[in-house]
Amino acid sequence: MEFLEIDGSFGEGGGQIVRTATALSCIMNQPIIIENIRKGRKNPGLKSQHLTTLKILKKICNANLDHLKFGAMSLKFIPSKVKSLNLKEDVGTAGSISLIILVLIPVVAICKKKLNLTLKGGTDVLWSPTIDYTQIILREMYSRMGFNFSVNIIKRGYFPKGEGLIELEVLPLEKINPIILSKRKTKSVKLTCTFSRLPSKLINNQINNIEKKLIENDFNVENQVKEEPTLDSGASLMVSSIDNDSIIGFDSLFNKKTKKFDLDLDKFIQNKYSVDEHLADMLVLPASLANGMTVFQVDNISKHLETNLFVASKITGCKYGIGRLRDGFEVRIEGVSYSCIK
């Protein structure tokens, strides 16, 4: 058995290498060894969210998995055949639900299987996409590439208790379509906000101020604000802009110290390219397996994007290039066609 060795400290050096590498390991049926997991972080090694992801992947592809324990800095992952499953899982903390299902969707769909998953954890937490980002932005991207999945939010979960609950359904994929995205042309924006156990006046004032600034910059704004019961107080905001040539989303959590959403609205307003910084790195995995070239433009090449390009090219053999634009970058990924999957 030939293992592919991956340095977990490469690039952004976080959990993303583990997520991308193990997902592609399942899809390509390629055994891998990952060393130095989150080596440079304050608390290195695997965390609860990573453990939940790996445990679910282990069930889905009947993997042989060593070193599956909290704080482990290396793991050996040997996948087998992916199968359809109905599962109920609990992160046990406010660990990100969105980051977990980001791994599961391509594995199940590309391997032409089905998944029905009930998952408990954090729906809107720091350092991860909010569940609205997953529903609005990620789903739009995956839909254009041929994927079919749905997320039903039963209950929101904020830090520290979490206890959010979602139902995920993933259906088999027929083929992976490459996509070409250029520049944002629309001036339509949607604000999606949910909150709990916070004064409605405080939240609505924040939304009104954001809407006012967008209108001042010639955007047409639609907003949806909803109060939902949760264990912990919190609020989540999604600013989205979608047209035929672009898929852009900026999400934010309410900062209870500053009494504001931690949102870089100026960056959203100024972004004239086709994807936001986070969607850019999420595009890499499906694009690496598409039958053709995916092209998108982004204002910045993040460490996460660099990391995913490195891992995907190492495991799938896809080719990619990054071109400099006047004040941004164009990324091209030539997929290897998922028909080559063992």
- pLDDT, tens only, 293-337: 999 999 999 999 999 999 999 999 999 999 999 889 999 999 998
- pLDDT, tens only, 113-124: 999 999 999 999
pLDDT confidence of residue 342: 44
189 pLDDT higher than 60: yes
pLDDT confidence of residue 339: 54
CA proximity to 95, closest of 157, 44, 138:
157
In this structure, how many other beta carbons lie within 10 angstroms of the beta carbon of residue 240?
22
- pLDDT, tens only, 97-150: 999 999 999 999 999 999 999 999 999 999 999 999 999 999 999 999 999 999
Sheet holding 319-324, edge to edge: 293-298, 329-334, 319-324
Q: Catalytic residue numbers? A: 304
Token pair, residue 266, equals 């100026």
DSSP 183: B
Q: Where are the beta strands (DSSP E) in the chain?
A: 4-7, 32-35, 64-66, 75-78, 85-90, 115-121, 149-155, 164-170, 188-196, 220-227, 234-243, 246-255, 260-261, 293-298, 319-324, 329-334
DSSP sequence for 109-164: HHTT--EEEEEEEBSS-TTS--HHHIIIIIHHHHHHTT--EEEEEEE---TTT--E
Which residue type sits at 308? N
Pairing label, strands 329-334, 293-298: antiparallel
pLDDT confidence of residue 338: 66
What is the per-residue burial (b if ≥16 Cβ within 10 Å, else e) of 99-120?
bbbbbbbbbbbbbebebebebb
25 pLDDT higher than 50: yes
- pLDDT, tens only, 34-46: 999 998 888 898 9
- pLDDT, tens only, 209-258: 999 999 999 999 999 999 999 999 999 999 999 999 999 999 999 999 99
pTM: 0.95
CA–CA gap between residue 39 and residue 28 (Å, rounded): 26
- pLDDT, tens only, 197-213: 999 999 999 999 999 99
pLDDT confidence of residue 277: 94
pLDDT confidence of residue 11: 83
249-to-167, 180, 237, 245, 338 alpha-carbon distances in Å: 22, 17, 10, 14, 28
88-to-68, 95, 165, 167 alpha-carbon distances in Å: 19, 16, 10, 9
pLDDT confidence of residue 340: 46
Q: Which residues pair with 96 in a beta bridge?
A: 122
DSSP 292: S
CA–CA gap between residue 72 and residue 50 (Å, rounded): 10
Domains of the chain: 4-180 (3.65.10.20), 188-270 (3.30.360.20), 273-342 (3.30.110)
Longest pairwise C-alpha distance within the chain: 61
- pLDDT, tens only, 47-93: 888 999 999 999 999 999 876 888 889 999 999 999 999 999 999 88
3 state SS of 192: strand
